[in-house]
Amino acid sequence: MTNTDHKQDIRTFLENFISEEDFANEDDIFELGLVSSLMAMQLVLFVEKTLGVRVESEDLNLDNFRSIDRMDAFMQKMSTTAHG
Q: Check binding of 60 to other proteins (CB under 8 A).
A: yes
| DSSP assignments along 30-74, one per residue | TTTT---HHHHHHHHHHHHHHHTSPPPGGG--HHHHSSHHHHHHH
Q: Check binding of 39 to other proteins (CB under 8 A).
A: yes
In whole angstroms, how close is the CB of 47 to other proteins at the nearest point? Answer: 11
Q: Which is nearer to other proteins, 1 or 38 (CB)?
A: 38
Q: Check binding of 57 to other proteins (CB under 8 A).
A: yes
Q: Which residues contact 39 (CB under 8 A, 6 or more apart)?
A: 17
Interacting residue ranges for other proteins, rule: CB under 8 A: 15-20, 30-31, 33-41, 44, 57-58, 60-62, 65
